């Protein structure tokens, strides 16, 4: 176990900014992970409204462009600085793990992989739930980080979680000190008031209580846009009238919109709001787990927090009872 004194933490961050891109939670009009230009902007304990996924899985990704017979690809990571993201919460880190599975486990996505390879993940362990919408303690989250910071009075305890993290510490060793302090199990975990009680929801698909939530759903897609784990996208070409110039783009897609399952001929496979609503919840809690052994959802609460009608699907599922 190592520690970094809070008195020297700002010096550490300033040193990082000299040779790296430093990303951290900041709050302006809203809270998000942004490139830091002034360390006074950083609110390391902040649970951001917007997720970090845009830094790896871009909302709009140009895959290539062309101009007549000339083809151009985006700049590669070799032309970019190393990036250090500080202040990632355990739910955010576990969401990155889920996206790593989708974009790097089997078929490796080159755009995503470039961003991940150049990034150091420095977590910050929450001491208490951010608000009443957090339910991470019921989601069996694991350890997935390069470094994790634990707030301990005048210092941060530092836990190394990867070889990349160990090399990073070696590079900035003057800021890290050996310590006899240790972490207790309760130091790693918080208890949220909101808890998802059901581990398996297969038998509840046709339960009538879904209608209570569906009836106040706008199908606006705020939930999937704010979700740090969702990874759906579509690809389309933008070409000028001469057909000589254009680009191919990958854009975020949303299963809550009718166009998501629309195919040639105009058929929509999930045309009703109820079908779309239940598909999102079942993908988050059941389908992904059946395939990968873990829920896609990490309990960050952003989908509830950002919902215009505050649909609390966790409470809704907890209240469902099966007829005997």
pLDDT in tens, 111-138: 999 999 999 999 999 989 999 999 999 9
Dihedral sign, CA of 124, 125, 129, 134?
positive
CB neighbours (10 Å) of residue 23? 23
Q: State the pLDDT at residue 38.
A: 95
Q: Is residue 90 part of a domain?
A: yes
Q: Do 208 and 182 fall into the same domain?
A: no
Query: Rounded distance, CA 72 to CA 234, Å?
Result: 21
Q: Is residue 230 part of a domain?
A: yes
Whether the predicted pLDDT of 57 surpasses 70:
yes
Q: Is residue 39 part of a domain?
A: yes
pTM: 0.93
Q: State the pLDDT at residue 12.
A: 97
Q: Are 132 and 126 in contact (CB under 8 A)?
A: no
Q: Is residue 196 part of a domain?
A: no
pLDDT band at 83 (very low <50, low <70, confident <90, very high): very high
Q: Is residue 296 part of a domain?
A: yes
Whether the predicted pLDDT of 153 surpasses 90:
no
Percentage of residues of the chain with pLDDT beyond 70: 99
Q: Do 82 and 46 fall into the same domain?
A: yes
Q: Do 234 and 312 fall into the same domain?
A: yes
Q: What is the mean pLDDT of the chain?
A: 94
Picking from 74-83, 87-96, 133-142, 299-308, which range would have the lowest pLDDT averaged per residue? 74-83
pLDDT band at 74 (very low <50, low <70, confident <90, very high): confident
pLDDT tens profile 267-296: 999 999 999 999 999 999 999 999 999 999
The candidate with the shortest Cα–Cα distance to 301, out of 137, 83, 121, is: 137
pLDDT tens profile 8-25: 999 999 999 999 999 999
pLDDT band at 183 (very low <50, low <70, confident <90, very high): confident
Q: Are 278 and 210 in contact (CB under 8 A)?
A: yes
Mean local confidence (pLDDT), 86-94: 98
Q: Which domain holds residue 302?
A: 202-318
Q: In DSSP terms, which residues pair with 148 in a beta bridge?
A: 123, 159
Mean local confidence (pLDDT), 165-185: 93
Q: Do 15 and 151 fall into the same domain?
A: yes
Give the long-range contacts of residues 301-305, CB within 8 A, separation 24 or more. Answer: 301/130, 301/131, 301/133, 301/134, 301/135, 301/136, 301/194, 302/49, 302/51, 302/133, 302/223, 302/226, 302/227, 302/228, 303/222, 303/223, 303/224, 303/226, 303/227, 304/133, 305/49, 305/131, 305/133, 305/226
Q: Do 105 and 231 fall into the same domain?
A: no
Percentage of residues of the chain with pLDDT beyond 90: 85
Structurally, how many domains does the chain consist of? 2
Q: Do 14 and 150 fall into the same domain?
A: yes
Query: Rounded distance, CA 84 to CA 119, Å?
Result: 6
Q: State the pLDDT at residue 187.
A: 85
pLDDT band at 49 (very low <50, low <70, confident <90, very high): very high
Q: State the pLDDT at residue 78.
A: 65
Q: State the pLDDT at residue 77.
A: 60
CA separation, residue 25 to residues 33, 157, 256 (Å) = 4, 19, 28
Q: Do 303 and 239 fall into the same domain?
A: yes
Greater confidence (257 vs 73) lies with: 257
Mean local confidence (pLDDT), 201-210: 96
Q: State the pLDDT at residue 185.
A: 84
C-alpha angle 169-76-96 in degrees, rounded to nearest 5: 55
C-alpha angle 33-312-42 in degrees, rounded to nearest 5: 15
Q: Is residue 150 part of a domain?
A: yes
Structure tokens at 244: 């000589």
Q: State the pLDDT at residue 125.
A: 96
């Amino acid at each position: 176990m190592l520690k970094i004194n809070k008195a020297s933490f700002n010096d550490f961050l300033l040193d990082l900014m000299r040779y790296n891109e430093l990303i951290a939670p900041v709050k302006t009009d809203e809270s998000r992970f942004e490139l830091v230009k002034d360390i006074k902007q950083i609110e390391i304990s902040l649970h951001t409204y917007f997720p970090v996924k845009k830094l790896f899985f871009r909302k709009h990704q140009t895959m290539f462009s062309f101009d007549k017979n000339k083809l151009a690809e985006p700049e590669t990571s070799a032309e970019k600085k190393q990036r250090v993201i500080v202040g990632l919460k355990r739910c955010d880190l576990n969401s990155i793990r889920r996206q790593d599975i989708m974009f790097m486990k089997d078929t490796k996505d080159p755009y995503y992989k470039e961003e991940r390879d150049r990034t150091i993940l420095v977590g910050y362990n929450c001491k208490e739930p951010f608000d009443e919408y957090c339910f991470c303690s019921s989601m069996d989250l694991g350890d997935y980080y390069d470094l994790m910071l634990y707030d301990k009075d005048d210092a941060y305890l530092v836990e190394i979680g990867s070889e990349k993290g160990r090399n990073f510490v070696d590079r900035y060793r003057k800021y890290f000190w050996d310590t006899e302090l240790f972490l207790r199990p309760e130091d790693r975990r918080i208890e949220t008031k909101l808890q998802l009680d059901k581990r398996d929801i297969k038998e509840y698909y046709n339960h009538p209580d879904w209608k209570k939530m569906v009836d106040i759903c706008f199908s606006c897609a705020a939930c999937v846009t704010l979700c740090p784990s969702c990874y759906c996208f579509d690809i389309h070409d933008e070409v000028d009238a001469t057909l000589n110039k254009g680009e191919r783009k990958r854009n975020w897609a949303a299963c809550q919109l009718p166009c998501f399952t629309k195919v040639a001929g105009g058929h929509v496979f999930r045309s009703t709001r109820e079908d779309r609503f239940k598909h999102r919840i079942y993908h988050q809690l059941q389908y992904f787990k059946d395939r990968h052994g873990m829920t896609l959802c990490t309990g960050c609460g952003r989908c509830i927090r950002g919902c215009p009608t505050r649909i609390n699907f966790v409470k809704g599922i907890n209240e469902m009872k099966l007829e005997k």
